Structure 1
Amino acid sequence: MHSLYHPTVARLTYRGLLGRRRAAVLFTLPALLLIISAAVRLLTGADDDTATKVLGGFALATMVPLIGVIAGTGAIGPEIDDGSVVYLLAKPVKRPTIVFTKFLVATGVTVVFSAVPTLIAGLLLNGDSQHIALAYAIAAAVASVAYSALFLLLGTLTRHAVVAGLVYALIWESLFGNLVPGARTLSVQQWALSLAERIAAPGAISSDVGLPVALALLAGVTVAAIWYAGEKLRKLTLAGEE
Structure 2
Amino acid sequence: MNPTVMQLTARSLLGRRRALLLLALPIVLLGLCALARVLAGFDDGLAETIDSGFATNLLGSFGIGVVMPLLGLIAGTGSIGPEIDEGSIVYLLAKPLNRYQIVVSKLVVAIGVLVVFGVLPVAVAGLVLTGSLGGITAAYALGALVAGVAYAALFLLLAVLTRNAVVIGLVYALVWESLLGGLAPGAQTLSVQQWALAVVERVLGDDAVLLGVESAVSLATGVVLLLVVALGCTAYAGRRLQSLRLTGEV
Instruction: Give 1:213's aligned amino acid.
Output: T
Asked if 1:181 is matched to 2:164, the reply is no
Q: TM-score, normalised by structure 2?
A: 0.91
From 21, 28, 33, the counterpart of 2:29 = 33
In structure 2, distance between residues paired with 1:107 and 1:89:
22
1:231 aligned residue: 239
Give, in angstroms, the shift of residue 129 of structure 1.
8.3
Q: Distance in 1 between matches of 2:133 and 2:186?
A: 31
Per-residue Cα deviation, 1:32-72 (whole angstroms, up to 9, x for no partner): 11110010122133210110111011111000000000000
1:172 aligned counterpart, secondary structure: helix
Which of the numbers 212, 222, 230 marks the counterpart of 2:220? 212
Aligned residues: 237
Cα deviation code 1:115-168 (max 9, x no counterpart): 100010011111238711110110000101100000000000111111111110
Q: What is residue 8 of structure 1 aligned with on the other side?
A: 4
Q: Tell me how far apart the structure 2 counterparts of residues 237 and 119 of structure 1 sit (CA, whole Å).
A: 43
Corresponding residue SS for 2:244: helix
Q: Please give the residue correspondences for 1:77-92 in structure 2 after superposition, counting only pairs within 5 Å.
A: 77-92=81-96
* Unaligned ranges ≥5, structure 1: none
**Does the CA contact (< 8 Å) of 1:13 and 1:102 recur in 2?**
yes
Alignment of structure 1 residues 102-117 onto 2, 5 Å: 102-117=106-121
| Structure 1 CA distance for aligned equivalents of residues 215 and 131 of structure 2 | 22
Counterpart CA distance in 2 for 1:73 and 1:104 is 13
Question: Could you tell me which of 122, 126, 132 is aligned with 1:128?
Answer: 132
Q: Percent identity?
A: 54
Q: Which runs of 4+ in 1 moved over 2 A?
A: 237-241
Q: In the TM superposition, what is the alpha-carbon distance from 1:237 to its structure 2 partner?
A: 3.5
Give the alignment of 1:28-107 within 5 angstroms: 28-44=24-40, 45-107=49-111
TM-score for both structures, normalised by structure 1: 0.94
| Aligned equivalents of 2:151, 2:144: Cα separation in 1 | 10
Which 5+ residue runs of structure 2 have no aligned equivalent? 41-48
